[in-house]
Every structure is written in structure tokens, then in C-alpha cells.
Amino acid sequence: MDKIFKYSYKTRMGFMINDDSLQVLNDLTDNEINLVITSPPFPLLRKKEYGNKEQFEYIDWLLTFAKLVYKKLTPDGSFVIDLGGVYQKGVPIRSLYNFRLLLKLCDEIGFNLAEEFYWYNPSKLPSPIEWVNKRKIRTKDSVNTVWWLSKTENPKSDVSKVLVPYSERMKKLIKSPSKFYKPKLRPSGHNIGKNFSINNGGAIPSNLLNIPNSESNSLYFRRCKAANIKTHPARFPEKLPKFFIKMLTDEGDLVVDIFAGSNTTGLVSEKLLRKWISIENRLDYVSSSVFRFIDESISNNQIIEMHNLINDGKKLDISNYQPTQSLFDVDNKNVTYSLS
């Protein structure tokens, strides 16, 4: 991989590439990627500094990437795409772009909708101000649609890797089942049998993901502050890619983010021991994303030096600066990075 790509930095598990992801995707081998997970720039009315496409051209633009993603995924691979809702210009009417895109992804490219997810972010600020705060005719939009698409009907997936804690009621039920329920056919038609009270180590998660996006004290933030560099304006929280990477891939699998921004996906993949390739076309985001990977035993000055080298177009191998394996907490194959 070193020979093929002009990476900006490489870690033990992956490569951060500063380029247009269309180019890089083209160069990747077909049927090689286990999971592409990404959050593209949305067709926002209030543009972010990295630029956002207008709504009329957005779908065709994104489909060019999606076609290549389809080609590059393994037959049991998945494509997870996070899309924020937007309003149409000047009216309190929502754009249907995320739904139109979904239809085209399935009808024109051939993806299957394995499941639709909704990411509820309670920390989202109310917007647009005109409809929500001033006129008070619309509620706060705090849910993104996250489409989980697959190339075939049976993508690799294991929900038991992403179980959530049992509710208090379920914990009591597991302790003394006879006190709380009797196996029987419910009015809904569900046949609740004896197995209902078996402790499986956690509950099946739902497709509503409640994940606040409120990170403000991570290694990345602290390092950006020390270097007097602005943080990326539209990061997703680590828990979002973590959920899908754990559920849809195994250790050693390849995860790709084609709109990588501050490289949250790369970091999470690294922690979960997945190989990764992240692609971001803005060099400033690429260079500051290196802060995510280097532990605090390295001084701010050294880190800023690395950041500057990347900005000068140098290729960095930072694997020696990363925490050693002993700094990872390995618990039932759930690997967490103790330093971030």
C-alpha cells in the first residue's frame, strides 16, 4: 500500500490520504473493502468552510462516489452513510434529498437497504433560527438518517458485538423471571417464550442511536488548542462509527472513510484493530487529524512539528509514537484506547 498511495501519515493499522476520494477509490482493488462508513458534506443552506454542494446537484455528485464504493466493497461488505436533514431555501419545507438519494442508491446502483438508522443527537443546536427560534413553527431537528446499505442480501453483521446494557426492569426479570412474566402469546402476535429471561450479556440495540455529539476535551481538542488550530467544524462522535465498525467488521478487516475530515473513523478503526484508509481533500484537516493518534507523552512542540511536516507534503510514519499495545485495554475483545 505504501507504494500505491501518497499517504500523509501512516499508523500501525492505517493510512491517511490527502486527495480527492474519487481518485483514491479508483485506485483501490475491487471487492476489497469490508466497510465504507462516512459522513459527506451535506447540501446545507448555510455552507461550512469546506464547501457544500447545492441541493439540485448533490445527488448526482454523491452517486459518482457511491458507484465506486459499490465496486470496491467485498460481496458481504457494507456502506454506511450519515446524512443530516436540511430545509429547502426560503421555506419551512424539508428537502427530500436523503430519501431521494437512498432510492437512487438502491434502484440505480444496486445497493440493498440492510437497515435504516436514526442518529439522535441531543446536543444539536436549534436551526434554522428563522423557523425554530424566531417564528417557532418548527421543532429542533436533532436526528440524522444513517443508511446501512449492503451489496448483497447478507452482509457480514453480528449484533452481539454491540449489545447495550439491560434496562433495570430486564435485569430484575433475568434475576427472577417467574415474578415478572409468564411465557405466552402476546396480543401483538409475539410468542414470548422461556428464552426471554436468558442473560445474553446485554440487550439488542435499536436502530435509534442516542449519541450526544459533545466532545470538547479529547486529545484532538487539546492538541488543536495547544497548536492554535481550529478543530474540524463537522466531526461525528466516536461512538457513531464505533457502533457500525464493531457490528459489521472483524479485527483485521478494512474500513474506509471517503470524506474523512478529522479522521474520527481512522482513530476508531485503529482502536478496534481494523485496517483503515481515510481520504480527505483538505490538507489542513489531514494535518491536524494526526493529533488524534499521538499520546500525551509526546510534547506539543514535537506534535506541531509533525503537523507542519504533513502540511509541507511530507509522508510520516507515526506508528512509533502511538501508544504501545500494553496501553490498550482489552476486555472481551472490546479494545479501548486508554489515552483519548
Residues in 41-80 that interact with ligand SAM by CB under 6 A: 41, 50
Stretch that binds ligand SAM, among 18-26, 96-104, 118-126, 201-209 (CB under 6 A): 18-26
Do residues 238 and 264 make contact, with C-beta atoms less than 8 angstroms apart?
Answer: yes
Closest listed residue to residue 209, CA positions, set 327, 312, 121: 121
Residues touching ligand SAM: how many (CB under 6 A)?
20
Closest listed residue to residue 43, CA positions, set 104, 95, 108, 103: 95
* Residue 289 beta carbon to ligand SAM: minimum distance, rounded to whole angstroms: 7
Q: What is the DSSP string of 50-112?
A: T----HHHHHHHHHHHHHHHHHHEEEEEEEEEEE---BPTTSS-B--HHHHHHHHIIIII--E
Q: Is 234 in the site for ligand SAM (CB under 6 A)?
A: yes
Q: Is 238 in the site for ligand SAM (CB under 6 A)?
A: no
Stretch that binds ligand SAM, among 14-22, 119-127, 267-275, 296-304 (CB under 6 A): 14-22
* Alpha-helix runs per DSSP H in the chain: 21-27, 55-72, 97-104, 129, 168-175, 177-180, 219-226, 239-248, 264-271, 283-289, 300-311
* Residue 43 beta carbon to ligand SAM: minimum distance, rounded to whole angstroms: 12
Residues in 244-273 that interact with ligand SAM by CB under 6 A: 259, 261-262, 264
Cell numbers for 27: 485506485
Q: Which of 235, 242, 292, 307 binds ligand SAM (CB under 6 A)?
A: 235
Q: Which of 19, 82, 253, 257 is catalytic?
A: 82
Q: Which of 8, 21, 39, 78 is catalytic?
A: 39
Q: Which residues are near ligand SAM by CB under 6 A?
A: 20-22, 39-41, 50, 232, 234-236, 259, 261-262, 264, 279-282, 285
Active site residues: 39-40, 82
